[in-house]
Amino acid sequence: MRLFGIPFSPWTEKARWALDHHRLDYTFQEHGPVLGELRLRALMRQPTGRVTVPVLEADRWYKDSFEIARHADGLGGGPRLFPQAHLDEIAAWNTRSEVALAAGRAMFLLGSMDQPRFLDTVLPPGVPAGIRPLLRPLVRRGMESLIHKYKMREDAGRHEDVLTSALDALAAAVSPERPYLLGAFSYADIAMAVTLQGVSPVDEAFMSAGLGGREAWSQPRLAERYAGLLQWRDALYAKHRRPATA
Ligand SMILES: N[C@@H](CCC(=O)N[C@@H](CS)C(=O)NCC(=O)O)C(=O)O
């Protein structure tokens, strides 16, 4: 199997965590903007319509993290991530996760557009420091195309409320005494754990922080408000996620 994804994207992480949980064998292909999308469209024979990653090439193309995780769960021999009795609840937590992730991504991109330091850090390492400021309009244009693709300006101003209401729902459902959303480790925990990536990134032994580094992806105000959830997320990773370097 071949997984196409972005190493620091929480959506890719959802798929990878499920595949790794079941110790399935797959190769990882890093997805890049523009050319990556053209290549994927050609491979998937999908000239039109929205293409996102992760995408898994297996007996067929699985085009969504949730679908990929369900496929992994059907193949793998590890403890089930989608127990039959909880399918509806898992789907509901995943919907919350998708909404929260989209809101977090919008906050991040809209907030980074006018941060020259961020714009200068996203270029590849070979670009000389003196040239970086000149390329800011190009970086902004790339970010603008994502803002447009995911319609982030339509809900501008609401993103933080959307993210915090998902995190409040999570905070009401887990605690040190009740570490799993559904009584035992499931995909619901994975889906919600990754929503904290844009509040304070997880230890980079598990996944890289992303363009701009940890600082760009941290929101100290929210990290303080959800300190308990960050502890929950870190404990979940320590217990259920293999380090990426393993
Ligand atoms: N519902 C999809 C959403 C995936 C998604 O939004 N992927 C983004 C991750 S940032 C993506 O592909 N971004 C790169 C692009 O749009 O070119 C899933 O769960 O797989």
User: Domain 2-75, what architecture?
Assistant: 3-Layer(aba) Sandwich (3.40)
- Checking if the pLDDT of 66 tops 60, the result is yes
Structure tokens at 197: 């990536």
Q: What mean pLDDT, rounded, does the chain reach?
A: 94
Lowest-confidence pick of 12-21, 106-115, 158-167, 170-179: 106-115
Give the residue, out of 13, 30, 37, 53, with the most ligand 1 atoms within 8 A of its beta carbon, to mutate for a pocket test.
Answer: 53
Q: What is the pLDDT of residue 52?
A: 94
State the average pLDDT over residues 85-103.
97
Helices (H), 50-86: 65-75
Q: Contact, 150 vs 102, CB < 8 A?
A: yes
Q: Contact, 119 vs 139, CB < 8 A?
A: yes
Q: Is 13 in the pocket of ligand 1 (CB under 6 A)?
A: no
Ligand 1: atom nearest CA of 64 is 20
Ligand 1 mean position to 176 CA, how many Å? 31
129: which residues sit within 8 A by CB, 6+ positions away? 120
pLDDT 10s digits, 113-166: 888 888 988 888 889 999 999 999 999 998 999 999 999 999 888 999 999 999
- Checking if the pLDDT of 61 tops 90, the result is yes
Q: Is 189 in the pocket of ligand 1 (CB under 6 A)?
A: no
Which position has the token pair 């996102």?
A: 52
Ligand 1 mean position to 35 CA, how many Å? 15
CA-nearest residue for atom 11, ligand 1, is 52
Which position has the token pair 């679908």?
A: 67
pLDDT 10s digits, 186-200: 999 999 999 999 999
- Checking if the pLDDT of 245 tops 70, the result is no
- Checking if the pLDDT of 17 tops 80, the result is yes
Which position has the token pair 């994502």?
A: 146
Q: What are phi and psi of 161, to 5 degrees?
A: -65, -40
- Checking if the pLDDT of 246 tops 70, the result is no
Output DSSP code: residue 195.
G
Q: Is 55 in the pocket of ligand 1 (CB under 6 A)?
A: no
User: What are the Cα distances from residue 42, in Å, to 2, 6, 53, 155, 167?
Assistant: 15, 18, 14, 32, 38
